[in-house]
Amino acid sequence: MLHMLYGKLKQYYKKKHLNMLIKRGLDMGKNIQIEGNIHIDPSHCFLIRIEDNCFFGPDVHIFAHEAGPFRYLGITKLAKVTIKENSGLGLAAVVMPGVTIGPNSIVGAYSVVTRDVPPNSIAVGNPVKIVASMDDYLERHAKDEKKYRTFHESQYNIRWISSKGRKEMLDYLSCHPMAYIKGENPDVSIFNSKVLRKNGRI
């Protein structure tokens, strides 16, 4: 009960904070998915644009200003940030001023984005490097999904998984390098991907 109340309070304050940023000029599109906290430059949020259908892991940071030179030169760098549609940032990724990400691109967990991430790309590292195209990334997972077991979220989600389900998953992953967990089918019609078409997803 307390856990549910805490979760609702967090959602309430996150929504309130985002609404405050939008009033200050943050340009935020529709269908934005945010897991946990997100840190968007409060003093220069009006320089940040987040387009439709983007997703963010916990503790993502997005900056439109860099105060490093202020102590020495008395100046602070300002630059716009654009995160284009259908793009996502993993856990604790950091976006620095002056970059454009996407569309249809993913930035890996703990990555630091100091340069543009091209459309349909997978970028990781500090600073980020392009490691794959979106189609290559999806192709790899589509092939692996056919090779390994897929558990369904309705039974194996952490919120309601049984002790039997945990043992089953542990036993499988003790003998295999990976598995997948499947939730409800997302709306993938927003992607123009030959891999999704090839695998009957769109």
> Which tens digit of pLDDT belongs to each residue from 102-157?
999 999 999 999 999 999 999 999 999 999 999 999 999 999 999 999 998 888 88
Neighbours of 107 (CB within 10 A): 28
Which of the residues 65, 141, 152, 176 is marked catalytic?
Answer: 65
Name which residue leads in pLDDT, 67 or 154.
67
Per-residue pLDDT at 186: 58
Interatomic CA distance for residues 167 and 145, integer angstroms:
21
- In the chain the domains, ranked by start, together with CATH numbers, are 2-132 (2.160.10.10), 148-198 (no CATH)
141 a catalytic residue: no
10 Å CB burial of residue 56 (0-12, 13-18, 19+) is buried
For 144, residues 6+ apart whose C-beta sits below 8 A from its C-beta are 178, 180
The amino acid occupying position 195 is V
pTM of the model: 0.82
For the chain, the C-alpha Rg in angstroms (whole number) is 19
10 Å CB burial of residue 133 (0-12, 13-18, 19+) is middle
Give the tens place of pLDDT for each residue, 33-62.
999 899 999 999 999 999 999 999 999 999
